[in-house]
Amino acid sequence: MAATPPTSSPMKVGDRHYRSLWTEQPGGPVHIIDQTRLPHAFETRALGSLEAVAEAIVSMRVRGAPLIGVTAAFGIALAMARDASDEALAHAAARLGATRPTAVNLAWALARMRTALEGLSPAERAPAAWFQAQAIADEDAALNEAIGRHGVALLEREHAAHGRPVNVLTHCNAGWLACVDWGTALSPIFQAHDRGIPVHVWVDETRPRSQGLLTAWELAGHGVPHTLVADNAGGHLMQHGKVDLVIVGADRVTRKGDVANKIGTYLKALAAHANGVPFYAAVPTPTIDWEIDDALSGIPIEERGAEEVRVVRGLDGEGRVQAVEIAPATTAVANPAFDVTPASLVTGILTEKGLFPAKETALLALYPRDRQSKAFLT
């Protein structure tokens, strides 16, 4: 394993504390957990260049909107360490901005980095870029810890009402692997568990990339009871009273409260609405897009490769990771990575500032207009 992670993180792998991204010294490299190897193997990678960062984002070695933004910020910092010219800064921002278009945290982080650096001389940019990227990383951890503190009240209320473990359904992975630390949707769950509030999590497998396996891996490591279920099981569970609330993360939330998240989220929201189950999206401030008015036409939905649908990976009988083709290469495949859940199906947006209705008036009141920008600083 390449590097010793910081000891300040509450998240652990075995008996060691980890963040999903960390550094040992200014200038790099940046160390990440290679999420394409999980849950079968835990491996870290050192990223030492702009191209290495871009590849890690595209290949989903790092994933989750908050973590994508933070990783991109360090990509700018690594680029500035090699060439701090105006041309290099513009190239790095463009290269990283094209990697995963749906995650608004990416554009937010790049805008913040450019705002911090463009007024500086080339000689000043490298240390300033590193300082700014590290600040973004530390802020992300703090924001997500705060989301958890506010979200615990939801789980505490459900437990008090029913006198049994709270059953939460979540989709995709919105835990600490998707952020720098704590996670968004999982932060309230981790903190409730740590406080002794009994929680059980229904974990959607989240095909085609099966990010639910990452959620199950995180929950197992934290000792949280959970059950992995097929993506289409959620509605059935809700019909039979086995889900008390749904909490998901998001890659983008509009000012009107519409939620763009992993494909399949919309179907969970429809089922929740039909069965009277509260549906919440947990997001830090940088995930709110103040500019898009029409979510369906304005949010770019990433279309990923056909292989993700046609091929599954897992362990064979000898413990080796193998790829198995489940559909012929001639089969036409569509693979949209995200969908949009309209605000009318969202019970509330959980942020570091608290829980609020998924309405434009509520979000605008929460964040004064003069602070609504992609370079918003918390």
In this predicted model, which residue has the larger pLDDT, 372 or 120?
120
> Where do we find the tokens 């094209």?
98
**pLDDT above 70 (res 373):** no
Using one digit for the tens of pLDDT, what is the confidence trace for 300-321?
999 999 999 999 999 989 889 8
Domains in the chain with CATH codes: 12-139 (1.20.120.420), 162-371 (3.40.50.10470)
Peptide bond into 336 cis (omega under 30): no
- Order of strands across the sheet with 259-262? 288-289, 252-254, 259-262, 338-341
Give residue 367's pLDDT.
Answer: 77
Mean pLDDT of 280-307: 94
Percentage of the residues of the chain whose pLDDT score is greater than 70 = 94
| 234 alpha carbon, distance to own chain's centre | 21
b/e map of 94-108 (b: 16 or more CB within 10 Å)?
A: ebbbebbbbbbbbbb
Query: Which residue matches tokens 């200014």?
Result: 26
Predicted confidence (pLDDT) per residue in 6-59, tens digit: 444 568 888 888 999 999 888 889 999 999 999 999 999 999 999 999 999 999
Give first-to-last CA distance, the chain, whole Å. Answer: 34
In the structure encoding, which two tokens stand for residue 370, read together?
A: 């003069």
Nearest CA to 167 out of 141, 200, 195, 197 is that of 200
Query: At a CB cut-off of 8 Å and minimum separation 6, what does 82 contact?
Result: 49, 50, 88
CA 48 to chain centre: 23
Tokens of 160: 């008090």
Q: pLDDT (tens digit, 9 = 90+) per residue, 242-253?
A: 999 999 999 999
On whether the CB atoms of residues 269 and 346 are closer than 8 A, the answer is yes
Q: Catalytic annotation on 251?
A: yes
Q: Output the CA–CA distances (angstroms, integers) from residue 90 to 51, 84, 94, in the order listed.
A: 14, 10, 6
Kindly give the residue spans of alpha helices, DSSP state H, lying in the chain.
Answer: 50-58, 65-82, 86-97, 104-117, 122-162, 187-194, 212-222, 234-239, 265-274, 295-298, 307-310, 360-366
- Is 368 or 36 the better-scoring residue by pLDDT? 36
Q: Are 156 and 192 in contact (CB under 8 A)?
A: yes
Among residues of the chain, what percentage have pLDDT more than 90?
87
**Average pLDDT over all residues of the chain:** 93
Determine the pLDDT at residue 95.
Answer: 97
| pTM attached to this predicted model | 0.92
Choose, from 181, 204, 251, 339, the residue flagged as catalytic: 251
78-104: average pLDDT: 95
Choice between 273 and 318, residue whose per-residue pLDDT is larger: 273
**151-205: pLDDT as tens digits:** 999 999 999 999 999 999 999 999 999 999 999 999 999 999 999 999 999 999 9
Say if residue 72's pLDDT is above 50: yes
What is the mean predicted confidence (pLDDT) over 263-280?
98
pLDDT of 369 reads 58
Please tell me the predicted confidence (pLDDT) of residue 375. 45
Query: Across the chain, which distance is largest between two alpha carbons, in Å?
Result: 63
pLDDT at 25: 85
